[in-house]
Amino acid sequence: MLKKKPSAILFDLDGTIADTALDLAATLNHLLSTSGRNEIHHDLIRNMVGEGARALIKKGYEYNGEILEDQELEVLHDQYINYYQSHIADKTVLFPGVIRMLDTIIKQNIPLAICTNKSDELTHLLLKELKIFNYFNVITCGNSFSFKKPDPRHLISTCALMKADPKGAIMVGDSINDIEAAKRAGMLSVGVSFGYTETPITKLFPHLIINNFDEFFDAINKLTPHTRVV
């Protein structure tokens, strides 16, 4: 339980709540292999995730030494979506402790949100497949607004939909998009050490870092008031 209730808690999805890397990697590698390019090991793809499907596709082809034209990218994006929708939860699982944590937060009547750069179509499908869709009061995605993380307005607008004060909210994520957005929004930032990030979470300097969700409540409860200063 949290000793001091935040106005809301926002979670990133890929690499934070759900371990989606294997299915994302399989989808990207499907595109690469069917177009005669070299596949990429899933450990490398883990650190390419976080900015949406188009960015992942571009990174995959750049890894193969190619810069995609906009028209090519859109064709590949359609192929990516079609394949991923059919395989979105083949190997994807929730990270350990997620359900226990969400259940505890719900008992405290704290509003919950997903704030992701994934598209709304894929986000809703995945949350339903993982059977956690109904935990969240609000779900905002990469196409919910005209801006997305690391733009702090993504977080601020998500809080507004919950009628929550951003200054009293918490953002939990795994990458620079999450941590920078939280800092710029004046929110408490919680970084997870097990996610997908090109820059190590320790070098992003969130207010605190957790290694698993069983640490979540104790870590936040130990924070002193001055820790929240951005």
Find the domain containing 25 and state its range.
21-86
Select from 54, 173, 59 the least CA-distant residue to 116. 173
Say yes or no: 13 and 27 in one domain.
Answer: no
Would the pLDDT of 46 be above 90? no
The strand pairing partners of 169, in sequence order, are: none
81: CATH = 1.10.150.240
* Same domain? 137 vs 49: no
Query: Is the confidence at residue 226, as pLDDT, over 80?
Result: no
The residues that are catalytic are 12
Q: What's the pTM?
A: 0.91
Question: Is the torsion defined by CA of 192, 143, 77, 136 positive or negative?
Answer: positive
Please choose, from the candidates 92, 108, 87, the residue with its C-alpha nearest in 3D space to the C-alpha of residue 3. Answer: 108
Residues 32 and 15 in one domain: no
Residues 5-38 pLDDT 10s: 999 999 999 999 999 999 999 999 999 999 899 9
Q: Is residue 53 in some structural domain?
A: yes
Residue 199 belongs to a domain: yes
**pLDDT tens digit sequence for 185-221:** 999 999 999 999 889 999 999 999 999 999 999 999 9
The residue among 54, 86, 118 that closes a domain is 86
Residue 68: pLDDT over 70 = yes
In a domain, 3, yes or no: no
**Mean pLDDT, the chain, integer:** 94
Tokens matching residue 52: 């949406």
230 pLDDT band (50/70/90 cuts)? very low
Percent of the chain with pLDDT over 70: 97
**Which of 86, 106, 138 is the endpoint of a domain?**
86
115: tokens are 């704030």
Same domain, 116 and 127: yes
